[in-house]
Homo-oligomer: A and B are copies of this chain.
Amino acid sequence: MRYELYYWPSIQGRGEFVRLALEDAGADYVDIARLPDRGGKGMPAMMNFLKNESVACPPFAPPFLKAGKQVIAQTANILLFLGPRLGLVPRSEASRLWAHQLQLTIADWLTEVHDAHHPIAGALYYEEQKREAKRRAADFTAGRLPKFLGYFEQVIARNPGRSGCLAGRGITYVDLSLFQMIAGLRYAFPRTMARLEPKYPRLVALHGRVSARPRIAAYLASRRRIAFNQSGIFRHYPELDA
């Protein structure tokens, strides 16, 4: 099965959580919007699909994944679908629901990361909501961020698998996503993270362990890994990093 991933080509964004799973599994996939426009690929292919009124199950927004005739959107839903197929989640229904629950909590967390620099409207520039962003980011770094970090630290600590992972005895797609959260937060809030990280040794260790996985390490060193930048979800504005 060759998977087709559709996502904005110049940012990591939500697509990155899917890319990390596909890369870690060594899956056969193409990142459609990053290909040249010729041959029905590139951004036009993604935009044409989104505008196509004959699509019966339209995505609300990228990312979406084509797997044969199936089209699946919503990042956590894509990972729910891919998890068992890529061997990145335990088999039982209870385990899959637990991993998905954690992924949905990461999705909520990611929205809060985004809204820290865009608290008023995604359609406005940061500069148009900078004052509000300072207030929201102050609450995020002082309250919400430690709450999320503390939660996931506890999840690892309580995991009956005692694996240092979030769910079960080995790495799941949720661990890959947690890696991405830590990496992004270090880029966006370096001072805050330097201060907070000593309190969350299990998260730091998990980040390191994921980044050392051979396929992930190769991916991170490759040109397929888009660099963090100021158009993505994780953005570094020094004035928001208390």
A interface, CB within 8 angstroms of B: 53-60, 70, 72-74, 76-77, 80-81, 94, 97-98, 100-101, 104-105, 108, 111, 115, 119-121, 123-124, 129, 132, 135-136, 139, 143, 148, 151, 154-155, 158-160
Contact = CB atoms under 8 A, between A and B. Distances in A.
A139 B124 contact: yes
Contact of A58 (B54, B77, B154): B154
A5 to B, nearest CB: 16
A69 B60 CA distance: 35
Contacts of A158: 53-58
A201 to B, nearest CB: 18
Nearest to A148: B60
Copies in the complex: 2
Q: What 7 A-B pairs are tightest by C-beta distance, nearest first?
A: A121-B139, A74-B104, A60-B105, A74-B101, A77-B101, A119-B119, A120-B135
Contacts of A123: 139, 143
Contacts of A56: 158-160
Contacts of A160: 56
Given A115-B115, A123-B143, A98 B57 contact: yes
A94 B76 CA distance: 15
Q: Which of A73, A97, A101, A108 has the most CB of B within 10 A?
A: A101
Nearest to A81: B97
A46 to B, nearest CB: 17
Given A121-B136, A136-B119, A158-B55, A77 B104 contact: yes
Given A72-B101, A104-B77, A136 B120 contact: yes
